[in-house]
Copies of this chain bind each other. A is one copy, B any other.
Amino acid sequence: MAVRVQSAPFDAGAEQAQFAAGLRQAGAVVTFTGLVRDNGGTLAAMEIEHYPGMTERAIAAMVEQAQARFGLEAALVIHRHGRLLPQEAIMMVATAAPHRADAFAAAEFLMDYLKSRAPFWKKEIGAGGAVWVAAKDADEDALRRW
């Protein structure tokens, strides 16, 4: 189980390859990668603030929960902070389980928790200035299925 919170860019393909290379029994690997959308060309950059210390603790707790609940062989979470440009990868989750249903469920579980329970805040920088992204009710609702 690995958790990395970093400002440096990462290569999702290389991370996936490395993740899969370490597996011994899994039959199913799911990855999710979140990219900065440019909102139809209006976004210049995204700034992500986080709560150093709590971020790592909160994510590690989510990963442990996912591992126990879905019988994961391995899990990986990478999340960036700082300034990001359109099309850059914001974050990535990878899960490995014997069968596909658990690998998918664990990746969705981790995404739902990362969205609403990991201390990150996004700010969109555009021509019109900077705006903090508002939390969505749909993201809070998504937690109820678990």
Interface residues of A (CB under 8 A from B): 11-18, 20, 23-38, 87, 89, 98, 100-101, 103-104, 107-108, 111, 142
Q: Specify which of B14, B32, B36, B89 is in contact with A30 (CB 8 Å cutoff).
A: B32
Sample (5) of A-B pairs whose CB atoms are under 8 Å apart: A25-B37, A26-B37, A27-B35, A29-B32, A32-B103
Q: How many copies of the shown chain assemble into the complex?
A: 2
Q: Specify which of B15, B20, B98, B108 is in contact with A33 (CB 8 Å cutoff).
A: B20
A67 smallest CB distance to B (angstroms): 18
Tell me whether B20 and A35 are in contact (CB under 8 A): yes
Tell me whether A33 and B29 are in contact (CB under 8 A): yes
Tell me whether A25 and B13 are in contact (CB under 8 A): no
